[in-house]
């Protein structure tokens, strides 16, 4: 556990650096520009670099993906009867749903690299290609059903078009094509891409910290606490059980479990505002799940990393 904690501390140190820097440099345009560079350029370049040279014969990859998919689906299905049982208001339910199922891709990629090296980020890229699609369809469907903004609704076709435009998915797909065609990135091109890719981790984590909103709606504390417990504790527990049942171990099992431990994603707040969810509750879930994950990630990952 101590070794895992040492790997996690610098990652969340960068998150807190971003949180403090945002208070010292509060320019909205500055942080919006940094996040855009990370999202549209730095991380896609990093994914292309790593996936283009990947070996996809890692044992247990399909089983680990299946365990991750099933854990997410089980959590999603579990939340609907809970909504009915406790009579959770529609807008608040959208935030609980997103908070319990969405993951922070920036923290996921950074920790995949920190804990498992190049092999980790390659497998993490494959996980993201599948799970970005799955989770976005689930969350947007729930917001379509329970959100209050009619003009924010999205059609199924619109969802798929938006996903195909996702820069992270594009980066993964370009990397896979380069890998299959055995295109080797060398020389000045590779060095240029390395410079850009190396910027991804620190800037992405600082932008996560800059996006944290320190608030807690006391009237919704039970719902917010429940969503955080589902994401940080129940999701990893189900994933770990499925990995054991499927006899998955090694790096693939580590990445699958790491995926399950991730805090909620900042883009859930934007989607909540666009589609009529409870954006204040969503902001609280994102912030507090990120902070509590500093404790839960090392504890849970120590079950796999010796």
**Nearest CA among 220, 292, 299, 237 for reference residue 263:** 292
The confidence score (pLDDT) of residue 141 equals: 87
What contacts 79, CB < 8 A, 6 or more positions away? 93, 96, 97, 100, 230
Cβ-contact 18, 207 below 8 angstroms: yes
Q: Residue 200: CA atoms inside 13 Å, Cβ hemisphere, count?
A: 28
CA distances from 284 to 37, 107, 235, 266 (A): 26, 18, 19, 11
**Nearest CA among 139, 161, 294 for reference residue 228:** 294
> CA angle 190-12-52, nearest 5°?
25
What contacts 95, CB < 8 A, 6 or more positions away? 223, 227, 268, 272, 277, 278, 279, 281, 282, 285
- For the domain covering 1-302, report its CATH number: 1.20.1530.20
Taking the domains of the chain in order of start, what are their residue ranges? 1-302
Task: Tell me the pTM.
Answer: 0.88
Burial 165-188 (b: 16+ CB within 10 A, else e): ebbbbebbbbbbebbeeeeebeee
Paired tokens of 19: 């949180």
pLDDT in tens, the chain (306 residues): 667 778 889 999 999 999 999 999 999 899 989 988 998 999 899 889 888 887 777 789 999 999 999 999 999 999 999 999 999 999 999 999 999 999 999 999 999 999 999 889 889 988 987 888 889 889 988 988 898 876 667 666 777 777 777 888 888 889 889 988 989 889 999 999 999 999 998 999 999 999 888 766 667 899 999 999 999 999 999 999 999 999 999 999 999 999 999 999 888 998 888 888 998 899 999 999 999 999 999 999 998 876
């Amino acid at each position: 556990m101590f070794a895992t904690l040492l790997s996690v501390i610098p990652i969340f140190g960068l998150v807190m650096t971003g949180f403090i820097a945002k208070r010292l440099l509060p320019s909205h345009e500055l942080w919006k520009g940094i996040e855009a560079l990370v999202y549209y350029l730095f991380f896609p370049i990093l994914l292309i670099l790593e996936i283009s040279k990947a070996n996809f014969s890692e044992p247990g990859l399909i089983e680990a993906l299946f365990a991750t998919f099933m854990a997410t689906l089980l959590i999603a299905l579990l939340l609907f009867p809970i909504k009915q049982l406790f009579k959770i208001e529609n807008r608040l339910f959208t935030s609980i749903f997103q908070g319990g199922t969405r993951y922070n891709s920036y923290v996921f990629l950074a920790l995949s690299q920190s804990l498992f090296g190049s092999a980790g980020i390659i497998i993490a890229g494959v996980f993201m290609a599948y799970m970005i699609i799955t989770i976005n369809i689930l969350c947007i469907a729930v917001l379509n059903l329970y959100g209050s903004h009619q003009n924010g609704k999205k059609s199924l076709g619109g969802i798929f078009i938006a996903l195909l435009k996702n820069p992270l998915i594009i980066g993964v797909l370009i990397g896979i094509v380069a890998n299959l065609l055995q295109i080797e990135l060398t020389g000045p091109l590779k060095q240029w891409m390395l410079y850009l890719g190396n910027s991804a981790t620190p800037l992405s984590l600082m932008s996560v910290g800059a996006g944290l909103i320190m608030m807690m709606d006391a009237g919704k504390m039970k719902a917010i606490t429940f969503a955080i417990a589902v994401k940080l504790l129940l999701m990893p527990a189900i994933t770990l059980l499925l990995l054991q049942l499927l006899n998955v171990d090694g790096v693939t099992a580590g990445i699958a479990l790491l995926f399950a431990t991730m805090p909620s994603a900042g883009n859930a707040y934007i989607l909540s505002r666009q589609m009529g969810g409870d954006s204040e509750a969503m902001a609280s879930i994102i912030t507090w799940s990120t902070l509590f994950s500093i404790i839960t990630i090392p504890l849970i990952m120590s079950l796999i990393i010796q």
